[in-house]
Amino acid sequence: MNRLLLLSLMLPACGNTTAGFSALSSRVHDDIGSLVTVSWTPSDSDTVVVEYSFDDGEWLSAPPQVVDGESPAETLLLGIPYGVTTTWRVVGEQLGESEPQVVTTAAVPEDLPEPTLVLSDPLQYHAASGYLLGSINADDVGWSGGDYWKFILDRKGRYVWAMETPDEHWSIFLRQSRDGTEILWDEATYWSSFSGEGEDGQVHRMKIDGTITASVATPGLHHAFVELADGRLAWGDASADWFEDLVEYAPSGEIVTVWSCEDFLSALHVPEGTSEEEKWKYAYCESNTLYWHEETDTFLYSFYSSSSVLEIDHSGEVLWYAGGLHGGYEFATEADTFSWQHGVHYTDAGTLLLSSEASCADLKQCPYGYETVVYEYDVNHDAAVLETTWTFGAGGGVYGNTAGEAHRLDNGNTLHNYGAGSVVKEATAAGEAVWWVEWPYFHLLGRTTFIEDLYALAP
């Protein structure tokens, strides 16, 4: 929708006067068509809130603000879906309530894949988590190039915010900053056909209105990055042929290597009789997850190249590993084994949680012969064994052949992202799905996490 058409939808016109307010007006953001800024002039100093509604009988409110008499004031309205008409009003403690005003947001961007809300149980889903932050490829090509969109979805499955990543660069690991005030998003060039080895990759810090507060160079970035306690970044640098280093910004501002995958693999013993295909696990490495555990100052590092997970301390020492590499921790049973794992991290209870590929014998239910499930493990360091304590998704038949994550919520529910399966579900500890949204199949979903308060991201 062009700007002139948007302006024609901004009602009522400037100069309106109701209660203790005049010059009430609204405007839709030029680039993010779901963001609305409303403005007015109070007749006196007061504490006011702007209330707004786009669903029958439901009202939201922006944070209260103190305004000076006869000085223009404005408020950003967040959480409004695209393509809806919103009623808003200004309410002052002393000045009373303005007459209702209306504004219509822009239509959903044309090439942003349309989500479908399949299931929603507000009595059981995590009530405080009102919005889903994530990213998606506009093209239905799985792990491949295309136009990547960053988005925020509400619990009714509606986009309330979206931005396209420029130049067909990849954004697949969005996260809210540790202090909650910014969106951190990756602009990875590693997978772009024209960009070499990702030497110009970046991570941006951004407010919800699109204001970039900082851009950090992350050469070699191709998958995950993490933010450390002091705001520095760490990531997997895959700019070297076949191998990857775990690097971070030192307090001095230099990029330093914490751990070298090549050095680790070269020191491992390859068992006699290992097939040529299996030897490839020791000949190169590329990761798909990096997680920093603040309590122990260690990294969990997941490699799809060897179907392995490693825990590494900040000095670069490997504390333990499990999966496809010889000599690591064992699994309690063959059924406990993960494969093509993603999103590896520790829960608050100290268990290991991840999304994994799992075989599925029922081809009617699982046409590809596999499905994507969540595994939760107890890591027994004394016995050097991983034992499954909880699973979710088995028998569901949803398969994402790449990407995906699982996150434990503080009410005990689990958020499961199926990656290229184009599905996100929230499930209870009993394994019951209580929220489910999906997109047309094979649109790659990047990392998805819940946001409680959009106004924490406001400029």
Residues with Cβ < 8 Å from 253, sequence gap 6 or more? none
- Say whether both 261 and 376 belong to one domain: yes
Please report whether residue 443 resides in a domain. yes
pLDDT (0 to 100) of residue 364: 83
* Residue 197 within a domain: yes
Closest CA to 450 of 154, 209, 156, 148: 154
Q: Same domain, yes or no, for 259 and 404?
A: yes
**Last residue within a domain, chosen from 50, 83, 104:** 104
Contact 184, 174 (CB under 8 A): yes
Summarised one tens digit per residue, pLDDT across range 120-170 is 999 999 999 999 999 999 999 999 999 999 999 999 999 999 999 999 999
104, 133, 160 - which closes a domain: 104
Say yes or no: 218 and 85 in one domain: no
Look up residue 307 and give its two tokens.
């179907």
Are residues 304 and 337 located together in one domain of the fold?
yes
Whether residue 110 is contained in a domain is answered as no
100 with 196, same domain: the answer is no
Do 415 and 424 touch, CB atoms closer than 8 A? yes
In terms of domains, do 247 and 296 share one?
yes
Contact, 436 vs 422, CB < 8 A? no
292 closest CA partner among 262, 312, 315: 312
What is the reported pLDDT for 59?
98
Same domain, 219 and 318: yes
User: Quick check: is 202 in a domain?
Assistant: yes
Query: Is 109 within a domain?
Result: no
Token reading at 51: 């209330």
Q: Whole-angstrom Cα distance, residue 160 to residue 171? A: 18
Reported as a single tens digit per residue, the pLDDT across 19-60 is 799 999 999 999 999 999 999 999 999 999 999 999 999 999
Q: Give the Cα separation of 92 and 40 in Å (integer).
A: 12
Gap between the terminal Cα atoms of the chain:
25
pTM, 2 dp: 0.94
Kindly state whether residue 413 falls inside one of the protein's structural domains.
yes
User: Is residue 13 exposed (0-12), middle (13-18) or buried (19+ Cβ within 10 Å)?
Assistant: exposed
Residue 293 has a pLDDT of: 98
Residue 91 sits in a domain whose CATH number is 2.60.40.10
CA angle 237–241–246, rounded 5-degree value: 25
| Residue 406 scores a pLDDT above 60 | yes
Question: Both 131 and 89 in a single domain?
Answer: no
Task: Report CA torsion sign: 261, 258, 247, 133.
Answer: positive
Q: Is there a single domain that holds both residue 11 and residue 139?
A: no
* CA atoms of 316 and 421, how far apart (whole Å): 35
Q: Is residue 184 part of a domain?
A: yes
Q: Does any domain span residue 206? A: yes
Q: Which letter does DSSP use for residue 191 in this model?
A: T
| Domain-ending residue, one of 72, 104, 136 | 104
Q: Are 307 and 324 in contact (CB under 8 A)?
A: yes
Interval 356-378: pLDDT, tens: 999 998 888 888 899 999 999 99
Residue 121 sits in a domain whose CATH number is: 2.120.10.30
Domains contained in the chain, number: 2
Query: Is there a single domain that holds both residue 121 and residue 63?
Result: no
Residue 190: phi and psi, rounded to 5, are -55, -40
**Does the structure show a pLDDT above 90 at 198?**
no
**What is the domain extent for residue 288?**
116-457
Give pLDDT, residue 8.
Answer: 33
Q: Are residues 398 and 430 in the same domain?
A: yes
**What pLDDT, on a 0 to 100 scale, did the predictor assign at position 100?**
97
Residue 79 and residue 185 in one domain: no
Average pLDDT, the chain: 94
